[in-house]
Structure 1
């Protein structure tokens, strides 16, 4: 299946961001990616996962949640990538934009978050329970979503590397705050960035299966 990526202007929360959009033929839903600390929409890890979702007839939108000037500041200070309130506000704005039709039509929405992006994804899911149906976190910091965790209604899957012991502990704590049905799965032999052979492929398979099961088919 040919996968064609379109660079798309994404309006949200008073700014315009840049996203990479893929809409397979007969797409049944769309997954919005919130990348993590110091990463970007061009992250090869997120792109590998997005490709797996596209092969399952899921559209994907990978967005840089910071503007170019903000990214320059963050490269120096590292502070904006941990501004969960800012990242959440922008994700919620994109969810609303997608829900109103956006560039892909009114498709059911899922969120994929990595590192600090996972906290923003969960907080956005809590803010938009009638629009976000599923969330997957890869090596995420869901604990940073704080009190929003127990308001999440979307089906949630937390994926953590087996060698990432501190992040496992943080995800276990977050899982206890999430409603029943959320799952924590540990990928054996994987470190925080899932650089070990085969581990990121497992993440892609798990995410594709989770979204396929949790996201409703497009009406009509």
Structure 2
């Protein structure tokens, strides 16, 4: 596939953040990634998922949510990686940028969050209900989104490893609070990082189908079962 690749600097409030864009011709939408605690836009798992989305006709934006200076500080204190409000605010600012700049020629935006990044993605979706059209969480901590769960309007897919028992429970509780169309899917035999053979591919495939169904402007919100 002919992908347009670029590394850009995105304004997010008082800081500028580095982001990698991969956009196929005439994308159905653009998916913004929110990495988990201690990770970056170079996360091999998120990069692998992004490539699957690209192959499915979707643009992707992999971004560092902390500046280099903040990242150095966080490596010592581990404070900022759990600052959901800070991370969500920066995601919302990037959503605004995507809606204005339309790097893929479309303003249809989805969010893909991993671990603590899933909570930030859900809060950002609640803050930008008219712009964020779909959310996918991989091994996420949606419980950390707090009161924002009740305000999310975007169809949301929660993907959890079958061996990640504590996180399954947290996702079940979050599912019961989401009022948007939502679904929890458990990937059998997978641990938190989906390192087992074939499990990350299942995540990527499920995310691709969810975004393909919900991001195109011509497609309405589907009737989604709240199954587990």
Residue 102 of structure 1 deviates from its aligned partner by 4.3
Q: Is the 8 A contact 2:154 2:181 kept in 1?
A: no
- 1:49 matched to 2:49: yes
Q: Which residue of 2 aligns with 1:62?
A: 62
Q: Is the 8 A contact 2:134 2:211 kept in 1?
A: yes
- Structure 2 alignment gaps of length 5 or more: 220-228
Residue 4 of structure 1 deviates from its aligned partner by 4.7
Residue 101 of structure 1 deviates from its aligned partner by 2.0
Q: Is the 8 A contact 1:118 1:140 kept in 2?
A: yes
Matches of residues 137-148 of structure 1 in structure 2 within 5 Å? 137-148=137-148
Q: Is the 8 A contact 2:100 2:107 kept in 1?
A: no
For 1:35 and 1:217, the matched residues in 2 are separated by: 26
RMSD between aligned residues: 1.4
For 1:97 and 1:104, the matched residues in 2 are separated by: 12
Residue 107 of structure 1 deviates from its aligned partner by 2.4
- Structure 1 alignment gaps of length 5 or more: none
> What SS class does the counterpart of residue 193 from structure 1 fall into?
coil
> What SS class does the counterpart of residue 40 from structure 1 fall into?
coil
Q: Is the 8 A contact 1:137 1:157 kept in 2?
A: yes
> What SS class does the counterpart of residue 26 from structure 1 fall into?
coil
Matches of residues 76-155 of structure 1 in structure 2 within 5 Å? 76-155=76-155
Count of aligned positions: 219
> What SS class does the counterpart of residue 176 from structure 1 fall into?
helix
The normalised TM-score by structure 2 is 0.93
Residue 103 of structure 1 deviates from its aligned partner by 3.0
For 2:60 and 2:149, the matched residues in 1 are separated by: 24
